[in-house]
Chains A and B, each alone.
Chain A
């Protein structure tokens, strides 16, 4: 019988610990598929810091580093300087990248480090049980913003892609979402282009992926997809902020 579909070789057979309806699974698969399609599995070195994806070293079928909270871009810098010819990526959440690791991501981009960051933004701290993140929307209730996030005391949600796009060393910046089949296809294309920017030695690349957290949002998976579309996308507009001309 002819094989019409196979699981990507970029993922191990280990069952993931992610909650039902969480879109980490989709994003893992996209990253793994693109690595396989671009023939990167033998040379890839990934970094997964503290957060829901800290166990990603069990799932991506490539060499991996677990890293401290927020420090993945620094760890990836060390890896890439030692192995400049290897493909290196970080896989970071929004609590990690947009809060405790802002210095590391800004300066990795600033130095134009030749690695790629997959930035999973679900507007909340997932692993620790649903606390407010810098990316949490105004009015959004979390365990540390029980009355809803308030601008007067916590500021507005931080837009990392817009900020990083202002940095010269960042050569590819795009925000995508994984809420519909069409958006998933666009996300995969963005990941492929960002990887290409690294392989061509052009500089730093980041793909921000709007993701759901049904468990901590207190919604069903279907409601969570709707919330992402109706509430997150209007504040975090999708699209490419920056890319080298050649990959356009």
Chain B
């Protein structure tokens, strides 16, 4: 298949439609508005429906209705809009509804800015809404990976009956890169016999629900969800590893920041430094085993983020105090320069190569 040049946000839409998503409910917000724009243009051509909701709150609840009706469905937004969607995301997790939610992160808190950031890591991986739930969170570092993860995201959502979040940032959403639609859909997906289509069409009357008034029943439901998350942790960790063994320092970063870190590593290698890298692709489940491969003689693990330090919590949990951890972050829409990372590494190693 030939490659086509696409802007990240448009690639999200194209990947979703290629994955069989014919329903999109959204609301404009910079820097992701090209997603609803693309869907409003392309969904009518495939017999699907685009609805511009009155709010992000309404959009995610439309997703709840469509997902409960058995359809592949997506919504997208950027940080403040994703904050508004948390109510519906929690309901989707509780009612076990598969759907894909795209967050092209921008700087915060509050209205913040429209420039890229990675400060929704906590919101995405800890469950931004109420209750004991998790999302599968996938973080692409380029537009090709964005396409692959959106397509796979729909399969994972259906396989585990859970919402999946694609965590990009304004940079990934706005940049243009060549992509191809190469993802091979899974063939082991269960039938959606739980979806509402009218009871005449199903085997039984179906109810989409997250309410369990009896404490014993809700606890049982929560245990069921936790068992599902355990299975996700067992099977769905994704990570890119580079020269971890024997590294004097390991840099860890995801998404856009990982690309900047790679540039920094290339410079450091030319100067003779032994630098490894861990790039989590799935942020939940977090690929903690990758960090266990780091040798005890490694002098430090440097987490680089476009935030004031969020993923570093998971890095520390993975290392369990075994190796010193360091942090370099820019926030508010500022993007780190490779030179800053190079300097930080030199500072940590104190000139030791």
Given A71-B58, A71-B88, A82-B70, also A66-B211 (CB < 8 A): yes
Measured CA separation A111–B51 after assembly (Å): 9
- In B95-116, which residues have CB < 8 Å from any A CB? 95
Are the CB atoms of B205 and A78 closer together than 8 Å? no
The stretch of A22-30, A39-47, A185-193, A230-238 that contacts the partner chain: A39-47
Are the CB atoms of A78 and B65 closer together than 8 Å? yes
Given A63-B205, A71-B88, also A79-B196 (CB < 8 A): yes
The answer to whether A104 has its CB under 8 Å from any CB of chain B is yes
Given A65-B68, A107-B54, also A81-B49 (CB < 8 A): yes
The answer to whether B63 has its CB under 8 Å from any CB of chain A is yes
CB-CB under 8 A from A54, the residues of chain B are 211
Interface positions of B (Cβ within 8 A of A) = 23, 25, 49, 51, 53-55, 57-59, 61-71, 73, 87-88, 91, 95, 196-202, 205-211, 213
The answer to whether A68 has its CB under 8 Å from any CB of chain B is yes
Among B202, B205, B210, which residue has its beta carbon within 8 angstroms of that of A66? B210
Given A65-B64, A66-B209, also A86-B197 (CB < 8 A): yes
Are the CB atoms of A83 and B51 closer together than 8 Å? no
Measured CA separation A82–B23 after assembly (Å): 8
Are the CB atoms of A78 and B62 closer together than 8 Å? yes
Are the CB atoms of A63 and B58 closer together than 8 Å? no
Are the CB atoms of B207 and A63 closer together than 8 Å? yes
CB-CB under 8 A from B23, the residues of chain A are 78, 81-82
CB-CB under 8 A from A83, the residues of chain B are 69, 197-198
Are the CB atoms of B87 and A81 closer together than 8 Å? no
CB-CB under 8 A from A80, the residues of chain B are 65
CB-CB under 8 A from B63, the residues of chain A are 78
Interface positions of A (Cβ within 8 A of B) = 41-45, 47, 54-55, 57, 61-68, 71, 74-83, 86-87, 103-104, 106-107, 111
A156 to chain B, nearest CB (A): 25
Are the CB atoms of B200 and A43 closer together than 8 Å? yes
Given A42-B200, A78-B65, also A103-B207 (CB < 8 A): no
Measured CA separation A57–B62 after assembly (Å): 18
Measured CA separation A66–B87 after assembly (Å): 14
CB-CB under 8 A from B211, the residues of chain A are 54-55, 66
Are the CB atoms of B199 and A62 closer together than 8 Å? yes
Are the CB atoms of B55 and A78 closer together than 8 Å? no
CB-CB under 8 A from B198, the residues of chain A are 42-45, 62-63, 83, 86-87
Are the CB atoms of A66 and B208 closer together than 8 Å? yes
CB-CB under 8 A from B95, the residues of chain A are 66
4 tightest A-B CB contacts, nearest first:
A42-B200, A78-B65, A74-B61, A78-B66
* Tally of contacts, chain A with chain B, CB under 8 A: 135
Measured CA separation A68–B209 after assembly (Å): 10
Are the CB atoms of A64 and B64 closer together than 8 Å? no
CB-CB under 8 A from A77, the residues of chain B are 25, 51, 58, 62, 65
Given A65-B64, A75-B62, A103-B58, also A81-B51 (CB < 8 A): yes
Measured CA separation A15–B136 after assembly (Å): 39
Given A78-B23, A81-B66, also A71-B61 (CB < 8 A): yes
Are the CB atoms of B69 and A45 closer together than 8 Å? yes
Give me 21 A-to-B residue pairs in the complex whose CB atoms sit less than 8 angstroms apart, sorted by A's number.
Answer: A43-B200, A47-B65, A54-B211, A57-B207, A62-B199, A63-B196, A63-B205, A64-B196, A67-B64, A68-B61, A74-B61, A78-B66, A78-B68, A78-B69, A79-B196, A81-B49, A81-B51, A82-B66, A82-B69, A104-B61, A111-B51
Write the chain A residue with the least CB distance to B22: A82
Given A54-B211, A79-B68, A83-B69, also A74-B58 (CB < 8 A): yes
CB-CB under 8 A from B199, the residues of chain A are 41-42, 61-63
Are the CB atoms of B64 and A75 closer together than 8 Å? yes
Measured CA separation A83–B198 after assembly (Å): 9
Write the chain A residue with the least CB distance to B206: A63
A88 to chain B, nearest CB (A): 9
Which of A44, A63, A64, A67 gathers the greatest number of chain B CB atoms within 10 Å?
A63
CB-CB under 8 A from A82, the residues of chain B are 23, 49, 65-66, 69-71, 73
Measured CA separation A78–B54 after assembly (Å): 13
B28 to chain A, nearest CB (A): 15
Are the CB atoms of B25 and A78 closer together than 8 Å? yes
Measured CA separation A105–B87 after assembly (Å): 18
Among A65, A104, A106, A111, which residue has its beta carbon within 8 angstroms of that of B196? A65
Are the CB atoms of B196 and A45 closer together than 8 Å? yes
A103 to chain B, nearest CB (A): 5
Measured CA separation A55–B209 after assembly (Å): 10
CB-CB under 8 A from A86, the residues of chain B are 197-198
A37 to chain B, nearest CB (A): 16
Measured CA separation A83–B192 after assembly (Å): 15
Measured CA separation A42–B196 after assembly (Å): 11
Write the chain A residue with the least CB distance to B67: A78
Measured CA separation A79–B62 after assembly (Å): 8
Write the chain B residue with the least CB distance to A79: B65
Which of B58, B70, B95, B206 gathers the greatest number of chain A CB atoms within 10 Å?
B58
CB-CB under 8 A from A57, the residues of chain B are 207, 209
CB-CB under 8 A from A42, the residues of chain B are 198-201
Are the CB atoms of A64 and B207 closer together than 8 Å? yes
Measured CA separation A105–B292 after assembly (Å): 52
Measured CA separation A79–B69 after assembly (Å): 6
